[in-house]
């Protein structure tokens, strides 16, 4: 290794500036290497690529004899947005050897907050990366990223969007309407980086690419991410100030949540994931992603805690005897004090039950977990309750069999339900449409949904404008007589998301039941003060942070055998903000 480093050093041509030293090999190096140039500059790479790493930024990336960074910022690690970039104080090779016949080195860059590792293999265009926490503060956002040359990488791809990044010329300051969002110069729509968001746990590969170059992230293991099935994140975008092509690796993020502020234990590890370079071929990146997913957890990764895993299985059966078909199942914190979406200190696993309610989590890190489940629509779209079992222990090389688990469901009579109970806006007009700024503005100010004749898609995905949305329904006399002894009714309101600035009064037959608001109530029976999630004004159309509310009231308010109404009256609004619907249920 020393000999190869020495020979590489002899081949370096150095051009030094006050701010950005640049080191470019004249010819291909032999195998993976780390070269220290001075006390704040290192060069890492192999025979295919190399990066010049400074105190904060990886300022040059040479691949196929081309600088892929150019005038862009390069590679760095930061938390709480761009407020705190990590500064590397040293670099060293901590392990070396062979993986599947290829030589490798594990290069560790050390900062006060923790260690960033690059596992560099001979013959691999790219590197496996991981980060180990030692002193990160309580935070919401933590990320690694590349900011690359925009002519080399003009396009962005996620699993739901694949297109050219907007040209910098369209980011006109006078047309800026909100955070990182601009009206297009021709007035035909909006430009926003949030259109390039997607679901974290279904992502296979994503990145930026051009005709000859592609830079991709492949996160085969996802247990280090915060959140559950509903976790969304920004993936790629155009940096509006400079035009850089940005490839984000949001390993702990908050872009579509109320908050996700977590304290991390010493040793918490994010990764390894693969940063992969190629000639811009999406087909090649997809094949590489299939290989990575099939190989996870990586047998070659020499970390005892990473390799120590077990499994959990069981069957969820509803208390009415039905299997919990296709239920969303989540393995997270035991005895949680946060929602499943907000959990993020440790390791998390998501899955779905099968037709019979059976589920299994394989390759789970050892520990004690809380098992949660909720309706994902389909055959149990009427289930409004959730399931939780704490103290699920996962042991090394052991299958924890939870056997049959009973999930209590409501035994009340349901008068109507609008929308599947699944924590998404799917089924409603525009619900789950492609990420696009301002979709909620397409929904009307006033809307009437008639139970029995209206279709689910007649209800719009979000309510934002001043006006009234009404659900008209009948209460059959026979049902009312059978329920005459039941004096209580409950309106269940399930929101897929909510962005502050919009207040709604909730009525049943013009009797005020309560208020949903972000700014304090009006002395009603029940006031729910909601915190902000940015889903509706950050191009979200399917979900943000799920909320659930119950409005109990005297059933005498309802009129047996006659037309009845539940009404949501928006009395205060803010453009592109408001309520994203999941389901509305009335029961007694």
The CATH number linked to 490 is 2.60.120.260
Cα–Cα distance between 329 and 374 in angstroms, integer? 7
The partner residues of 248 in beta bridges, in order of sequence, read 145
The residue out of 279, 306, 333 marking a domain boundary is: 306
CB-based contact 117:106 (threshold 8 Å): yes
Instruction: Please give the model's pTM, rounded to 2 decimal places.
Output: 0.92
Q: For residues 157 and 276, state if they share a domain.
A: yes
Find all residues with CB under 8 Å of 97, minimum gap 6, and list them.
103, 104
CB-based contact 322:380 (threshold 8 Å): yes
Assess whether the previous peptide bond of 297 is cis (omega < 30° from 0).
yes
What per-residue confidence (pLDDT) applies to 430? Answer: 98
Q: For residues 364 and 265, state if they share a domain.
A: no
CB-based contact 126:274 (threshold 8 Å): yes
Q: For residues 462 and 316, state if they share a domain.
A: no
Q: For residues 215 and 199, state if they share a domain.
A: yes
Which of 477, 471, 522, 475 lies closest to 492 in space, CA to CA?
Answer: 471
The CATH number linked to 381 is 2.60.40.10
CB-based contact 235:143 (threshold 8 Å): no
The residue out of 278, 306, 334 marking a domain boundary is: 306
Q: For residues 270 and 317, state if they share a domain.
A: no
Q: For residues 462 and 569, state if they share a domain.
A: yes
Q: For residues 566 and 445, state if they share a domain.
A: yes
Cα–Cα distance between 477 and 532 in angstroms, integer? 42
Q: For residues 358 and 435, state if they share a domain.
A: no
Q: For residues 369 and 466, state if they share a domain.
A: no
What residue numbers bound the domain in which 393 lies?
308-407
Q: For residues 426 and 519, state if they share a domain.
A: yes
Cα–Cα distance between 76 and 244 in angstroms, integer? 14
With vertex at residue 33, the alpha carbon angle to CA 32 and CA 38, rounded to the nearest 5 degrees, is: 160
Q: For residues 219 and 328, state if they share a domain.
A: no
Instruction: Encode the chain (588 residues) as per-residue pLDDT tens digits.
Output: 333 333 333 333 233 233 344 455 434 558 999 999 999 999 999 999 999 999 999 999 999 999 999 999 999 999 987 779 999 999 999 999 999 999 999 999 999 999 999 999 999 999 999 999 999 999 999 999 999 999 999 999 999 999 999 999 999 999 999 999 999 999 999 999 999 999 999 999 999 999 999 999 999 999 999 999 999 999 999 999 999 999 999 999 999 999 879 999 999 999 999 999 999 999 999 999 999 999 999 999 999 999 999 999 999 999 999 999 999 999 999 999 999 999 999 999 999 999 999 999 999 999 999 999 999 999 999 999 999 999 999 999 999 999 999 999 999 999 999 999 999 999 999 999 999 999 999 999 999 999 999 999 999 999 999 999 999 999 987 665 555 555 799 999 999 999 999 999 999 999 999 999 986 544 445 677 899 999 999 999 999 999 999 999 999 999 998 899 999 999 999 999 999 999 999 999
Per the structure, the count of domains in the chain is: 3
The CATH number linked to 23 is 2.70.98.10
Q: For residues 360 and 497, state if they share a domain.
A: no
What per-residue confidence (pLDDT) applies to 477? Answer: 78
């Amino acid at each position: 290794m020393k000999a190869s480093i020495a020979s590489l050093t002899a081949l370096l041509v150095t051009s030094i500036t006050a701010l950005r030293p640049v080191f470019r090999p004249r010819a291909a190096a032999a195998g993976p290497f780390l070269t220290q140039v001075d006390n704040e500059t290192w060069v890492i790479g192999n025979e295919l690529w190399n990066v010049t790493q400074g105190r904060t930024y990886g300022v040059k990336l040479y691949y196929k004899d081309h600088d892929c960074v150019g005038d862009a910022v390069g590679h760095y690690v930061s938390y709480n947005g761009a407020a705190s970039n990590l500064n590397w104080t040293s670099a060293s090779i901590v392990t070396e050897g062979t993986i599947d016949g290829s030589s490798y080195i594990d290069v560790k860059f050390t900062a006060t907050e923790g260690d960033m590792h690059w596992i560099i293999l001979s013959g691999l265009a790219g590197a496996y990366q991981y980060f180990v926490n030692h002193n990160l503060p309580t935070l919401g956002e933590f990320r690694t990223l590349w900011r690359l040359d925009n002519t080399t990488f003009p396009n962005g791809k996620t699993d739901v969007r694949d297109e050219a990044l907007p040209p910098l010329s369209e980011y006109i300051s006078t047309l800026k309407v909100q955070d990182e969002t601009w009206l297009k110069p021709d007035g035909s729509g909006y430009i926003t980086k949030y259109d390039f968001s997607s679901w974290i746990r279904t992502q296979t590969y994503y990145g930026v690419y051009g005709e000859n170059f592609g830079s991709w992230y492949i996160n085969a293991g996802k247990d280090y991410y915060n959140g559950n099935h509903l976790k969304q994140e920004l993936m790629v975008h155009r940096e509006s100030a400079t035009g850089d092509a940005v490839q984000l690796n949001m390993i702990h993020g908050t872009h579509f949540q109320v908050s996700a502020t977590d304290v991390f234990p010493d040793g918490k590890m994010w990764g390894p994931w693969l940063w992969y370079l190629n000639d811009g071929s999406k087909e090649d990146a997809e094949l590489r992603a299939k290989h990575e997913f099939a190989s996870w957890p990586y047998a070659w990764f020499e970390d005892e805690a990473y390799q120590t895993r077990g499994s959990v299985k069981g069957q969820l059966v509803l208390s009415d005897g039905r299997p919990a078909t296709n239920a969303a199942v989540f393995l997270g914190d035991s005895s949680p004090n946060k929602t499943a979406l907000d959990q993020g200190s440790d390791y998390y696993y998501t899955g779905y039950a099968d037709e019979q309610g059976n589920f299994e989590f394989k390759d789970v890190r050892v520990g004690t977990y809380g098992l949660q489940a909720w309706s994902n629509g389909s055959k149990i779209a009427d289930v409004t309750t959730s399931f939780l079992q704490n103290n699920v222990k996962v042991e090394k090389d052991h299958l924890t069999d939870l056997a049959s688990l009973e999930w209590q469901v409501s035994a009340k009579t349901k008068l109507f339900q609008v929308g599947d109970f699944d924590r998404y806006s799917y089924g409603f007009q525009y619900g789950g449409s492609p990420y696009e700024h301002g979709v909620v503005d397409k929904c009307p100010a006033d809307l009437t949904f008639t139970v029995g004749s209206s279709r689910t898609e007649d209800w719009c995905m979000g309510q934002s404008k001043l006006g009234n949305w009404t659900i008209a329904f009948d209460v059959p006399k026979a049902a009312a007589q059978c329920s005459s002894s039941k004096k209580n009714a409950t309106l269940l309101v399930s929101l897929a998301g909510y962005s502050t600035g919009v207040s709604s009064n909730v009525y049943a037959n013009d009797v005020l039941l309560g208020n949903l608001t972000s700014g304090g109530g009006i002395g009603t029976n029940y006031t729910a003060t909601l915190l902000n999630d940015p889903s509706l004004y950050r191009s979200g159309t399917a979900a943000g942070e799920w909320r659930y509310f119950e409005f109990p009231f005297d059933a005498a308010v309802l009129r047996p055998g006659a037309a009845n109404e539940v009404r949501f009256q928006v009395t205060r609004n803010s453009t592109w903000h408001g309520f994203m619907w999941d389901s509305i249920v009335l029961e007694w």
